[in-house]
Structure 1
Amino acid sequence: MRGAGQGAGYPDPPLADQSGDPRVTVAAPQTSADIIRAARAGGYALAAFNAVNLETAQAIVRAAEAQRAPVILQFSQNAARHGGLAQLAALGLSLKAEARVPVVLHFDHAEDEGAALKALKLGFDGVMLEGDDPATLQHLADAAHDSGGYLEAEYEVVVKGERSGERHDDPAHLAEFIGGSGCDILAVDIGSAHKQESKNAHLDFDRLARLAELTSLPLVLHGASSVPVDDLARAATLGVAKINLATDLTLAFTTAVKESLNAGAKDPRQYLGAGRDAMQARAETYIRALGGAGRA
């Protein structure tokens, strides 16, 4: 087991004792969508961590292995612009093949259908497309299902805390969106915000409860770095099966790199390694908090 780290100032529940734990006797899921559905059924959430390069991707997989947890390794459209989609796919598939735990490879926030389709062809297990056009989403869902993957759709789009439209709790409206899009998992707006460093977002648990009653699909929370960890843990028990985390892990990585450079490091392997270790430690903290530890 690679070194488990502690995140300063974060709750640190111990790794669950697996002796007699019925969770470890359940048959292993066969598909990426099954892994996510199992999380909703089991009352926990998969941590979905964004990576941008080798070290950040390694940090995510190593954290999952250390905690014996399934994990979602995400690369975004922005990351693909920086490092190349094909190159990131190859990196993710390589790490997934060698991992000792289930790793779901996810393409996050695809900005157009073409990019999402390319990601599926390159071997991504699932894709999330920005936008809510039912015809486009349905076409992409069909492509994902043909390749054995899944589609994540946003029921309401959240951009830096601002919605692009109205909130809808109407059962008919939700059923129409799910049926029209063909999505397998559903991102919902319950108060989080993207790219926020402070943990001051307040989740609307009443709204989450209503949405969870209206659909059995695994729900997804975006912008989770803005949410107190205890609230994320609560959401994981109420139907949220995939929790996206990027900003907080990026800060952990960058802070460690800066500290290493300030201490005189000159070899990239040294300061990037320090960033990787710090990001792994932070990721492990989230995995435990969301209930994923010991599930693989």
Structure 2
Amino acid sequence: MGLVPVSDLLKAAEAGGYAVGAFNCNNMEIVQAIAQAAEAEKAPVIMQASQGAIKYAGIEYITAMANTAAAMVSVPVALHLDHGTSFEQVMRCIRSGFSSVMIDGSKHPLDENIALTRQVIAAARPVGVSVEAELGKIGGTEDDISVSNADAFFTDPEEARRFVQETAVDSLAIAIGTAHGRYKGVPKLDFARLEKIRSLVQIPIVLHGSSGVPGEAIQEAIRLGVRKVNIDTNIREAFVDRCREVIAANPDEIDPRKILGPAREAAVELIREKIRLFGSSGKASA
């Protein structure tokens, strides 16, 4: 099975009342873990690559690995650009074979964000690539993108209505209290804001910075209309923690396979748990 647009997966999620997991991939083992977990759970899945991942692994490797993974499993797989910040970067990913892109114009004033998003949609939609945009600034740091607590702000529902109306974007990432990276405390999501936004826009909502958010809060967000949930930090933690455990138990080990193999299995376990939490387990065959 080849790569599919994220919009196809989210339409099914909307109809079924669940969310699709979007898992960041940074190396081969994590790509394999995402595919293995999705296949084991019979779940649709989104592999996504950030600017940092593309810079580290190379866009050609990322695209080739995702295509190989999609061909080896029976479940639908999308390859998505996470937090693209320029038209040029988005076009590079589309030309490379990404099936979905995010254009993050949240740092711009509303009118400029709308204009940039429309420009991306005009280029992406004719070639079957779906587009996610962001409104409001999600705090924290993810690879090359950092937003301080002072600069982070929640999404305004009326601005969301106007944004969706004027762009016809496929999905919208909103800021309701999550943050990228590790949380210092327990995040509190603004469910009333989410409910209001969802009543004004009839498209799938995306929740970024979901690692560390309590499971019951994630499920409430899904009940209120979130259809794509992003996970990155939790995968890194599971992967690296297992590497540390293996090295601590075998300090003389020099075979990378004996270190990265168990780390991959830890990532599989974590991703399977998230898929079940999001309600997408078994939905690939639905």
Please, what TM-score do these two structures have when normalized by structure 2? 0.88
Aligned to 1:159: 139
Letter in 2 for 1:281: E
Q: What is the deviation of 1:98?
A: 1.8
Aligned to 1:248: 234
Structure 1 position 52 matched with structure 2 position 20: no
Q: Quick one: distance in 2 between partners of 1:125 and 1:66?
A: 23
Q: Which runs of 5+ in 1 are unaligned?
A: 1-29
Q: What is the deviation of 1:76?
A: 0.6
- % of aligned pairs identical? 36
Greater shift, 189-198 or 156-165, is seen at 156-165
**Aligned partners of 1:158 and 1:189 also within 8 Å:** yes
Letter in 2 for 1:34: D
Q: SS of the counterpart of 1:127? A: strand
Q: SS of the counterpart of 2:182? A: coil
Structure 1 position 102 matched with structure 2 position 76: yes
Q: Quick one: distance in 1 between partners of 2:185 and 2:281?
A: 23
Alignment RMSD: 1.6
Structure 1 position 35 matched with structure 2 position 21: no
Cα deviation digits, residues 110-160 of structure 1 (max 9, x gap): 132111111111111111122142222111112221111111000112131
Q: Which runs of 5+ in 2 are unaligned?
A: 107-112, 141-147
**Aligned partners of 2:5 and 2:100 also within 8 Å:** no
Q: Quick one: distance in 2 between partners of 1:246 and 1:43?
A: 23
Structure 1 position 129 matched with structure 2 position 109: no
**Aligned partners of 1:77 and 1:108 also within 8 Å:** yes
Cα deviation digits, residues 206-236 of structure 1 (max 9, x gap): 1111111111100000000131122112211
Q: Quick one: distance in 2 between partners of 1:85 and 1:202?
A: 35
Q: SS of the counterpart of 1:226? A: coil
Greater shift, 106-115 or 161-170, is seen at 161-170
Aligned to 1:148: 128
Letter in 1 for 2:128: G
Residues 272 and 197 (structure 1), Cα distance of their counterparts in 2 relative to 1, 3 Å cut: farther
Aligned to 1:174: 160
Cα deviation digits, residues 20-74 of structure 1 (max 9, x gap): xxxxxxxxxx853121121122111001000101001111111111111001111
Q: SS of the counterpart of 1:224? A: coil
Letter in 2 for 1:187: A
Q: Quick one: distance in 1 between partners of 2:92 and 2:223?
A: 34
Q: Quick one: distance in 2 between partners of 1:51 and 1:165?
A: 27
Provide the aligned length of Structure 1 versus Structure 2: 265
Q: Quick one: distance in 1 between partners of 2:205 and 2:119?
A: 21
Structure 1 position 234 matched with structure 2 position 220: yes
Cα deviation digits, residues 221-255 of structure 1 (max 9, x gap): 00001311221122112210000000011100000
Higher relative CO (Cα under 8 Å, sequence separation at least 6) belongs to: 1
Structure 1 position 284 matched with structure 2 position 258: no
Q: Quick one: distance in 2 between partners of 1:32 and 1:242?
A: 9
1:197-212 mapped onto 2 (5 Å cutoff): 197=183, 200-212=186-198
